[in-house]
Amino acid sequence: MLTRKQLELLDFIQKRMDHDGVPPSFDEMKEALDLRSKSGIHRLITALEERGFIRRLAHRARAIEIVKLPEAMERSRAAAAAEPPAFTPRVIDGDRVDAPAGAMAVAVLHSIEVPVMGRIAAGVPIEAISEVSHHIAVPGSMLSGRGQHYALEVKGDSMIEAGINDGDIVVIREQSTAENGDIVVALVEGAEATLKRFRRKGGMIALEAANPAYETRMLPDHAVKVQGRLVGLIRSY
Task: Output the pLDDT for position 83.
Answer: 60
Q: Would residue 141 show up in a list of annotated catalytic residues for this protein? A: no
Give the CATH number for residue 140.
Answer: 2.10.109.10
Q: Is residue 88 part of a domain?
A: no
d(CA 198, CA 7): 37
Domain of residue 228: give its range.
Answer: 106-234
Q: Is 145 left (phi over 0), alpha (psi -120 to 50) or beta?
A: left
Residue 198 pairs in a beta bridge with: 207
In this structure, the answer to whether residues 76 and 111 fall within a common structural domain is no
Q: Contact, 167 vs 59, CB < 8 A?
A: no
Catalytic residue among 30, 38, 158, 176: 158
In this structure, the answer to whether residues 146 and 53 fall within a common structural domain is no
Catalytic residue among 68, 130, 196, 201: 196
Q: What is the pLDDT of residues 135-166, one digit of tens each?
A: 887 777 777 666 788 888 888 888 998 999 88
In this structure, the answer to whether residues 113 and 168 fall within a common structural domain is yes
Give the CATH number for residue 72.
Answer: 1.10.10.10
Q: Is residue 75 part of a domain?
A: yes
d(CA 202, CA 223): 14
Task: Output the pLDDT for position 2.
Answer: 79
Q: Would residue 68 show up in a list of annotated catalytic residues for this protein? A: no
User: Which residue has better confidence, 143 or 83?
Assistant: 143
In this structure, the answer to whether residues 112 and 208 fall within a common structural domain is yes
Q: What is the pLDDT of residues 193-214, one digit of tens each?
A: 899 999 999 899 999 999 988 8
Maximum Cα interatomic distance, the chain, rounded to a whole number of Å: 66
In this structure, the answer to whether residues 116 and 230 fall within a common structural domain is yes
Q: Is residue 227 part of a domain?
A: yes
- Structural domain tally of the chain? 2
Task: Output the pLDDT for position 82.
Answer: 63
Strands of 165-223 (E only): list them. 169-173, 183-188, 192-201, 204-208, 217-220
In this structure, the answer to whether residues 77 and 113 fall within a common structural domain is no
Q: Is residue 123 part of a domain?
A: yes
In this structure, the answer to whether residues 115 and 176 fall within a common structural domain is yes
